[in-house]
Structure 1
């Protein structure tokens, strides 16, 4: 597939998707489709261990959904538009590989919802985060009312979504929305360094750990523990587990193959 709204690069086990609609990188239906296709490609590529998602330039990660496209849609058309974002963000959240959002500048609405679907959020110091939807007479529709409360708690999520308040990077870090705040000029370097650390870890164990966590938060404790046990057994049965345990006993560095 030829990509027009995103850029896809792969190097040393790390894939980088760059939202490429500068300067504000608004999210439209074509971008959702292309992003979803790229995530499918990465899911099937065993050489890729980690995904980084970022925006072109430092002015904005993504300023939200493309209002110029959605403003005059019929209810049926806006349903399809919204399902495009939901399906793509679900693919990102459920990708069996770690996903890092490297966000800079304006990260509003759908842009923040995209970042929330990732495992980690590295934020440049110039990040501004907001959910402005209620001020436009709508609500977040890309998972914001679901993922944000689960990440920072219901009360804080209501404050941000009801009031549309804009917060800076430091506040976002204190609330637990972002993982780490860094200088603008080292954002990608920091994200790439962290991705490199994750890329050398055993991929079956990483996949099972993510799957257990993702499923567990939506289950009762007993069911979550049972699911964890299934994931544990799957990881234990992998060749990488045998290699890792053997290397530990033999006091040598493991050589993982991703199997």
Structure 2
């Protein structure tokens, strides 16, 4: 689609690759392309899962481009952060499973993008994850303070951000920041493995509509009271019960056969 975010689809999976070597740092231009790609995947009925990864085998994304931030005026920086927040929230609110394939260093705004995905899978290696913005005299301003605290708790999140801690993938997995760490011989093999994993959530084997509803129920519901969250859950469940996939799933169970889902 664009030059800074590569967009491709493969059998139900849209793969968005942040592509600005050497560190895939993002600019307003990259975020505009990312935004467009998220919308493209959202409107494509044949896309059921979104995978985000970085170009090359060293960096997923090193966050915002520092030179751009040095040169921009305060008004631009404010709107840059606002747009970044809106783009990342769009990813989080899309009722399709979003997987971050962390192929290299994932720091600053790079980790903030990953935190807005539903699952994070890291390639085993000598990679660092963290929110070190404090060393620049600023805070993690693209959702980092909010999403990290929701994921690991207040005390640990504050500690990580004020210390500017960087950690390896195994430590990130221990803290629950990363869901899986996969050892592969190459980045190509890693991405192939993530796409194959993502395809398990796509029709005919995967109930993509239910997967999307589970994601939405958690992402939106946890930001409300328990009672409101339960109300959202009931509404989503009612939609699912009315779907072809639920009829197929229940019939297949009764007939002791594998369901053939259609995502409808």
Q: Is 1:255 matched with 2:254?
A: no
Q: Distance in 1 between matches of 2:202 and 2:260?
A: 13
**Alignment partner of 1:198: what SS?**
coil
Root-mean-square deviation (Å): 1.2
Q: Superposition pairs for residues 50-199 of structure 1, below 5 Å? A: 50-126=49-125, 127-184=127-184, 185=186, 186-199=189-202
Q: Which runs of 5+ in 1 are unaligned?
A: none
Q: Distance in 2 between matches of 1:107 and 1:211?
A: 25
Contact persistence 2:53–2:101 (CA under 8 A): yes
1:225 Cα deviation (Å)? 1.2
* Cα deviation 1:224-243 (Å, max 9, x = unaligned): 11211111111111111111
Q: Distance in 2 between matches of 1:175 and 1:257?
A: 36
After TM superposition, the runs of 4+ consecutive aligned structure 1 residues lying more than 3 A away are none
1:93 Cα deviation (Å)? 0.8
1:183 Cα deviation (Å)? 1.9
Q: TM-score, normalised by structure 2?
A: 0.94
Q: TM-score, normalised by structure 1?
A: 0.96
Contact persistence 1:123–1:169 (CA under 8 A): yes
Q: Distance in 2 between matches of 1:177 and 1:168?
A: 11
Q: Which runs of 5+ in 2 are unaligned?
A: none
Contact persistence 2:112–2:143 (CA under 8 A): yes
Q: Distance in 1 between matches of 2:258 and 2:124?
A: 37
